[in-house]
């Protein structure tokens, strides 16, 4: 409790310093950059985001007066090619209704980024080095209370201090081709919707169909993997990128975001390179991104993944019998590979007159994984977000979204087998759906607060309550929360 109070007091002191700063009321031009390191197509991309792909950043530094840069080192370092930034996110979340049990949590994450421009440092044209580290604290609401598959907060993870990414990037062909090598995360560049970065639920960043089907949850927060990525953007809105990743970030050797995977790589420094490979590729066409374009901007992305490892069958033992059959040997049959395809549409539906970053944005993402090793075989999410809806609140963003993850046929048949062989009545999993409504309010550029509401239907896909089996299925859960984000 003392730790929570200390954090809250720190926030109050920071806000007081902010409001007292002589810079209060000044305006800073935002960085015109889209999430996923792509051209910005969404007018409703939020001021701050916890999604790993987010890159639309303004700093609170000018509003902190003499405390913003006490020794004046940031401009000196930037001139020499060294830039750093910090993002602090704190969540207070609770489920007063439903879930495995009711409760509330406090969690936070400090993110430290470092960028080195090697042209300024060593005269190496087109070369950069990037590092990103996380300091994670707190307790996860999904893991301990709700029991849902699509984690209620994207920052939820086991407490740790870990290296997230560390890579070298070389631009070639006048910047049209980028080659990147090092420890990387797929959720920073692949399967990204710019409008969806507003939302708190983790599945609007790295969707559940990849997070639950790939070993250790795939190369995505809080884990990453050694990789090589190539991105080619010849112009006219087209881009193509492909990434080759080590296929098991932590060596857990089983799909899903399992806590054991995080424990196996406590500090993000395993650097595994001998696991079966994961390939992710996508092509994007962005349109109406020029300033003089007559139409509204948007983009369409088609992508897919292929994992070359072996996976446990969800239904059958290696002797060919259902795992639920008492005569089976209890050893899962091995299946080769896991694959899927996806499509994304991000579209600005309305842009306020004379504004580049105010209006209504829409997104939809859909994915299908036909391989029999997949727990989730179909996934869709969609939503709307409006930036600047209310008079005088031009940088506030409001949104509503929905995501659905369908349990695969083999997993559902395994549930039916268990009922048939044991004679015990129990739920059969079908799928999980989450609806989220959120409002991000700008205090000053770089500092936002964000009340959030989620409603989770069929947590865990409709499983029996693991803590209180006599209650039957885990009940639909309402999640209420508040997030504060500071970017420096």
DSSP state of 71: T
The 10 Å CB-count burial string (b at 16+, else e) for 409-419 is: ebbbbbbebbe
Phi-psi region of 417 (alpha: psi -120 to 50; beta: other; left: phi over 0): alpha
Phi, psi of 45 (to 5 degrees): -60, 130
Q: In the prediction, which pLDDT does 474 show?
A: 95
| 417 has pLDDT over 60 | yes
pLDDT above 90 covers a percentage of the chain that reads 75
- pLDDT bucket at 195, cuts 50 / 70 / 90: very high
Whether 439 and 388 have beta carbons less than 8 Å apart is answered as no
Sole residue written with tokens 């650097």? 271
- pLDDT bucket at 254, cuts 50 / 70 / 90: confident
Q: In the prediction, which pLDDT does 55 show?
A: 64
Quote the CA–CA distance of 345 and 325 in Å, as a whole number: 44
| 20 has pLDDT over 60 | no
pLDDT tens digits, one per residue of 323-373: 999 999 999 999 999 999 999 999 999 999 888 889 999 999 999 999 999
Largest Cα–Cα separation, the chain: 76
- pLDDT bucket at 48, cuts 50 / 70 / 90: confident
Whether 454 and 93 have beta carbons less than 8 Å apart is answered as no
- pLDDT bucket at 51, cuts 50 / 70 / 90: confident
E strands, 37-138, in order: 82-99, 103-117, 127-138
| 25 has pLDDT over 50 | no
Structure tokens at 108: 């936070």
- Three-state DSSP state, 94: strand
- pLDDT bucket at 56, cuts 50 / 70 / 90: low
pLDDT above 70 covers a percentage of the chain that reads 92
The rounded mean pLDDT for the chain is 89
When pLDDT is averaged across residues 96-121 and rounded to a whole number, the result is: 96
Quote the CA–CA distance of 306 and 157 in Å, as a whole number: 26
Quote the CA–CA distance of 308 and 374 in Å, as a whole number: 14
When pLDDT is averaged across residues 194-221 and rounded to a whole number, the result is: 95
Kindly report which listed range (37-51, 251-265, 286-300) carries the lowest average pLDDT score.
251-265
* 3-state DSSP of 368-413: ECCCCCCCEEEEEEEEEEEECCCCCCCCCEEEEEEEEEEECHHHHH
| 462 has pLDDT over 90 | yes
- pLDDT bucket at 54, cuts 50 / 70 / 90: confident
Which residues on neighbouring strands pair with residue 433, listed in sequence order?
404, 457
Nearest to 275 by CA among 252, 310, 246: 246
| 64 has pLDDT over 90 | no
For 423, residues 6+ apart whose C-beta sits below 8 A from its C-beta are none
Torsion of CA 31, 34, 40, 44, to 10 degrees: -90
DSSP labels, 309-367: EEEEEEEEETTSSBTTSTTS-SPEEEEEEEEEEEEEEEEEEEE-TT-SS-EEEEEEEEE
When pLDDT is averaged across residues 407-417 and rounded to a whole number, the result is: 94
127-138 and 160-172 beta bridge pairing? antiparallel
When pLDDT is averaged across residues 96-114 and rounded to a whole number, the result is: 96
Structure tokens at 343: 């499509």
Kindly report which listed range (24-28, 43-47, 173-177) carries the lowest average pLDDT score.
24-28
Whether 434 and 421 have beta carbons less than 8 Å apart is answered as no
| 49 has pLDDT over 60 | yes
Of 40 and 12, more confident: 40
Phi, psi of 373 (to 5 degrees): -90, 0
| 31 has pLDDT over 60 | no
When pLDDT is averaged across residues 157-173 and rounded to a whole number, the result is: 95
When pLDDT is averaged across residues 456-466 and rounded to a whole number, the result is: 94
Cis peptide before 28 (omega within 30 of 0): no
| 289 has pLDDT over 90 | no
| 252 has pLDDT over 70 | yes
Whether 467 and 98 have beta carbons less than 8 Å apart is answered as no
| 3 has pLDDT over 60 | no
Quote the CA–CA distance of 208 and 375 in Å, as a whole number: 10
Q: In the prediction, which pLDDT does 257 show?
A: 65
Which domains, ranges and CATH numbers included, belong to the chain? Answer: 2-487 (2.40.160.180)
């Amino acid at each position: 409790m003392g730790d929570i109070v200390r954090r809250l007091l720190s926030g109050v002191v920071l806000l007081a310093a902010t409001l007292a700063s002589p810079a209060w009321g000044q305006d800073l031009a935002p960085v015109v950059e889209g999430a996923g390191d792509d051209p910005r197509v969404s007018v409703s991309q939020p001021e701050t985001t916890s999604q790993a792909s987010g890159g639309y950043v303004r700093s609170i530094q000018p509003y902190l007066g003499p405390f913003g840069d006490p020794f004046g080192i940031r401009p000196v370092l930037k001139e020499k090619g060294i830039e750093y930034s910090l993002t602090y996110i704190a969540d207070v979340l609770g489920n007063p209704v439903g879930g495995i049990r009711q409760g509330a949590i406090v969690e936070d994450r400090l993110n430290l980024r470092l960028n080195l421009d090697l042209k300024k440092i060593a005269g190496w044209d087109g070369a950069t080095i990037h590092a990103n580290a996380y300091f994670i604290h707190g307790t996860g609401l999904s893991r301990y209370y709700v029991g849902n598959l699509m984690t209620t907060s994207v920052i939820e993870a086991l407490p740790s201090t870990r290296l997230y990414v560390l890579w070298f990037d070389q631009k070639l062909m006048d910047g049209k081709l980028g080659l990147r090598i090092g420890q990387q995360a797929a959720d920073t560049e692949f399967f990204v919707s710019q409008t969806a970065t507003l939302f708190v639920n983790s599945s609007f960043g790295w969707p559940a169909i990849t997070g639950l089907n790939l070993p250790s949850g795939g190369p995505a927060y809080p884990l990453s993997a050694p990789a090589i990525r190539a991105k080619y953007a010849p112009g006219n809105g087209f881009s193509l990128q492909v990434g080759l990743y080590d296929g098991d970030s932590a060596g857990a050797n089983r799909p899903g975001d399992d806590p054991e995977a995080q424990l196996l790589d406590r500090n993000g420094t395993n650097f595994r390179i001998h696991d079966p490979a994961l390939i992710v590729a996508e092509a994007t066409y962005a349109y109406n991104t020029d300033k003089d374009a007559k139409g509204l901007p948007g983009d369409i992305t088609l992508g897919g993944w292929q994992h070359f490892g072996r996976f446990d069958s969800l239904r059958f033992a290696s002797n060919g019998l259902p795992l639920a059959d008492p005569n089976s040997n209890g050893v899962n049959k091995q299946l080769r590979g896991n694959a899927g395809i996806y499509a994304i549409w991000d579209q600005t539906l309305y842009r306020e007159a004379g504004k580049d970053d105010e209006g209504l944005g829409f997104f939809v993402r859909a994915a299908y994984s036909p391989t029999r090793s997949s727990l989730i075989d179909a996934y869709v999410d969609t939503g709307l977000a409006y930036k600047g809806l209310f008079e005088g609140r031009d940088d506030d963003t409001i949104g509503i979204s929905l995501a659905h993850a369908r349990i695969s046929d083999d997993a559902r048949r395994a549930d039916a087998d268990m009922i048939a062989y044991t004679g015990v009545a129990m739920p059969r999993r079908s799928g999980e759906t989450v609806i989220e409504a959120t409002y991000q309010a700008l205090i000053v550029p770089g500092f936002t607060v964000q009340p959030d509401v989620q409603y989770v239907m069929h947590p865990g896909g409709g499983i029996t309550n693991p803590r209180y089996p006599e209650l039957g299925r885990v009940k639909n859960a309402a999640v209420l929360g508040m997030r504060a984000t500071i970017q420096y």
